[in-house]
Amino acid sequence: METTEIRIDYHRKVKRVLREVSKAVIGQDYMIERLLIGLFTNGHILLEGVPGLAKTLTVSTLAKALDLKFQRLQFTPDLLPADLVGTMIYNQKEGDFQVKKGPIFANLILADEVNRAPAKVQSALLESMQEKQVTIGDTTYELDRPFLVLATQNPVEHEGTYPLPEAQVDRFMMKVYVSYLTKELELEVMRRMSNMNFRAEIRPVLRREDIFGIRDEINKVTISESLEKYIIELVSATRHPLDYGLKTEAQYIQYGVSTRACIDLNLASKALAFLDERNYVLPEDIKEVTRDVFNHRIALNYEAEAEGITTIQIVDNILKNVPINN
């Protein structure tokens, strides 16, 4: 099969995935697109929004449309690392210890309310996210591929929560804010979900080999040298805002984004180009995903918090002020 035909087949399957997810989820196209970008670029996604916006439903429905092993983990303050990765259990019959693997041994992990787990659990999750492996006792076990963590957190209720360590936050490719639906979409949701007999039958569409194949296609998406330099300039502007005439922003930024941010921005823009059925990146692709890639990596100071300045506002001003040089 020709490369073009392979790419068209993948685009057709992605559209089928979107149709399957839309059977159960209404109006969250932005979130679904970001989840697919993470899936196709091996990047973990952090979803933030108030309860009741279908974050968990969207992830679980997407998992059904993928021929992958899925596990949902409800993070709580009393969760232990062993509850996540597994532990050693003594077998009286055999007279030795045996490994009981935890729910982390799956392809797609939904970490629900991830900020409710204590530091030791976060540390165990961090190893899984970064190294794609877990350690039980003295033995290290490789996790199956693909392996993706899709985490949710509630920004409103802070009682009983543990702020995610900066090192772990940086491991998320994107932080996606999930907002309220329009009145028209909310009316459609209400009408559908108030029918107690409603059941959405989701069929698996993408197989494991399809996901790896799509990753290969995204690797073939080209990005010009000028756009590569544009990404570097955007990253640099978060660290040295005064060099870009961003005097107001310089008052609020404590430190800018990491090197991992420029890698993730490159990958995300390529994936977005692929989803738009192009084999090259446009400046608009980079601008569209910069918010999601940067917003959790820019640290603001107390002055910004006192004045109600958000990282989204900072990123938007950076995008307005940093030019693309040919």
pTM of the complete model: 0.90
If you search the block for the tokens 């099969």, which residue do you land on?
Answer: 1
Question: Quick one: fold of 3-77+106-213?
Answer: Rossmann fold (3.40.50)
Residue 57: per-residue pLDDT:
85
Element (DSSP H or E) covering residue 312:
helix 311-321
Residue 157: per-residue pLDDT:
58
Gap between the Cα atoms of 269 and 275, Å rounded: 10
Beta-carbon contacts of residue 1 (< 8 Å; ≥ 6 apart): 9
Q: Where are the domains of the chain?
A: 3-77+106-213, 221-321
Assign domain 221-321 one CATH number from 3.40.50.12780, 3.40.50.720, 1.10.8.80, 3.10.129.10: 1.10.8.80
Residues of the chain with pLDDT under 50: none
SS3 label, residue 45 = strand
Residue 326: per-residue pLDDT:
66
Residue 137 and residue 176 in contact, taking contact as beta carbons nearer than 8 Å: no
Element (DSSP H or E) covering residue 48:
strand 44-48
Residue 285 and residue 269 in contact, taking contact as beta carbons nearer than 8 Å: yes
SS3 label, residue 274 = helix
Neighbours of 46 (CB within 10 A): 26
Residue 158: per-residue pLDDT:
58
If you search the block for the tokens 């603001």, which residue do you land on?
Answer: 300
Residue 85 and residue 130 in contact, taking contact as beta carbons nearer than 8 Å: no
SS3 label, residue 152 = strand
Instruction: Give the phi and the psi of residue 194 in degrees, each rounded to 5.
Output: -80, -5
Closest CA to 14 of 44, 42, 35: 35
Locate the DSSP E strands across 139-298: 139-142, 148-153, 172-177, 253-255
Residue 1: per-residue pLDDT:
53
Closest CA to 45 of 222, 212, 213, 271: 271
